[in-house]
Amino acid sequence: MSDVGSGTISFAGEVTISNIGEAHEQLGALLREQGAIVIDIQDLTDTDLTFVQLLESARRKAGENGVGLSLNTPAAGSLLEVLRRGGFLDDETSDRAQFWLQGAAQ
């Protein structure tokens, strides 16, 4: 599911409630060890609200601990749809929307 190393974590394929535990462990380890983390979502094909919740929690924790956290590409596909349905992008100017969209047009 992921490739952890030097401040980068990659999520590919399906990341849903059925396998979110592994993602949580790996991302948590990076948050404790790194000063900046890039989350690679380019090869993510399917996701659900649990993935969004995991990254939202990581985003807040990173902010509290002074750790840089960013996506390598704007949310797209099923992830973008989950974000829209969940109301995460309602305020386009919010820090949350900026994190997910990384300056991309909706």
Domain spans of the chain, in order of start: 4-101
Two tokens, residue 57: 């929690």
CATH architecture, range 4-101: 2-Layer Sandwich (3.30)
HEC string of 36-97? EEEEECCCEEEECHHHHHHHHHHHHHHHHHCCEEEECCCCCHHHHHHHHHCCCCCCCCCHHH
What is the residue whose two structure tokens read 């300056």? 103
Q: Mind listing the pLDDT tens digit of every residue in the chain (106 residues)?
A: 544 334 899 999 999 999 999 999 999 999 988 889 999 999 999 999 999 999 999 999 999 988 899 999 999 999 999 999 999 999 988 999 999 998 554 4
Single pTM value for the model: 0.86
